[in-house]
Amino acid sequence: MQNVLVYVQHKGGHTPKVTFEMATQARVLADKLGGKAHALVVGNGATQLAESLKAYPLDVIHVNDDADVDTFLLDPVVDFIDAAARAIGPSLILIPNTLTGKDIAGRIMARLNAGICADAVDFKIEGGRVEAIMPKMGGAAITTCALKPGDYGVVTIRPNAFAVQASGAGATVQAIEKPSGKTYTVTVEKDIEEGSGELALEEAPVVIAGGRGLGGPEPFDTLLKPLAQALGGAVGASRAAADAGWVPYSLQIGQTGKTVSPNLYIAVGISGAIQHKVGMRSSGTIVAINKDGQSPIAEFSDLTVVGDAFAIVPELTKLVAASKS
């Protein structure tokens, strides 16, 4: 028997989609391990967020609105995870594979003397043995790493790799105490939003991605951005566009880039190579705008618009703007 504990990263009660992905996956893992699915949410807005997490298939949500979490850098969070993990016993601890999540995961691994698997996109469980599956070396290799059965194990989870199912199991919300006698010294002076738009791309409900077919950097600003704005989405790119220096690598989608799973994905001038497909195939509706109707992307898009992107995209943007007004 092994429990599963999800660390819920959030800001003032706002949490990224990966939290819901982890909450859903925690249920699957806990059922296979014969344990319970727990979540830990701490800091300003935690109680309110815990209420909305009840919609997901968790058993217990540990909560504390402790102000130190937002005042000091990471240490209070690590203390809370440590306390929750020790309270529930040997457990599989799921942490988002974000910059902050990775920082926390390393610390909690050391605290609990646990094994760690980073950037998991899938799991295999047999006889209580947990194996995490992780792309490595930019996706050129897929590795499988087993954690010690029945002990603490830390796994960071790649955003958008797991499905979300909001089928609430009526989780119990219970208060968790911060370990006593702790003093913290490193304060958070200022929170700076990432300039790369990293979060926006991974969280966006609509993604407009451009590829080599756009021929240069300008159309990303003049063609794709207006459409993304009209649809309330974010701009992404293929690796060919990033390699050409037309956009930063933070916009690259695919095996060696980001995994996205928006409701609507519009691929503009992208051929649909397998390495691109793996980063966007779980999108809701996939639309391709490509002048070659035989391009591989036509095989897995829901709708292929055959024609010149430079003629189609401005018209589409106008239509979207008109329908909104």
Ligand X SMILES: Cc1cc2nc3c(=O)[nH]c(=O)nc-3n(C[C@H](O)[C@H](O)[C@H](O)COP(=O)(O)OP(=O)(O)OC[C@H]3O[C@@H](n4cnc5c(N)ncnc54)[C@H](O)[C@@H]3O)c2cc1C
Q: Site residues (CB under 6 A) for ligand X?
A: 139-140, 211-213, 238-241, 252-257, 269-271, 273, 275-276, 279, 289-292, 295, 308-310
Task: Tell me the closest approach of the beta carbon of residue 155 to ligand X, in angstroms.
Answer: 23
Cβ(8)–Cβ(31) below 8 Å: no
In terms of CB distance, is 294 or 323 closer to ligand X?
294
- The β-bridge partners of 174 are 62
Nearer to ligand X, 226 or 269 (CB): 269
Q: Which residues pair with 267 in a beta bridge?
A: 209, 288
User: 38 or 276, CB closer to ligand X?
Assistant: 276
Nearest distance in Å: CB 140, ligand X: 5
Single-letter code of the amino acid located at 310: F
Shortest gap between Cβ of 270 and ligand X (angstroms)? 4
Closest approach, Cβ 250 to ligand X, in A, equals 12
Cβ-based nearer residue to ligand X, 114 or 214: 214
CB atoms under 10 Å from CB of 263, counted, come to 12
Instruction: Name the token pair of 136.
Output: 């490595």
Beta-strand (E) ranges in 99-205? 115-120, 122-126, 129-136, 141-146, 153-157, 172-175
* 187 DSSP 8-state letter: B
Q: How many CB atoms lie within 10 A of CB 230?
A: 19
- Residue 190 Cβ vs ligand X, minimum distance, rounded to whole Å: 33
Query: Which residue number, 46 or 297, has a Cβ lying nearer to ligand X?
Result: 297
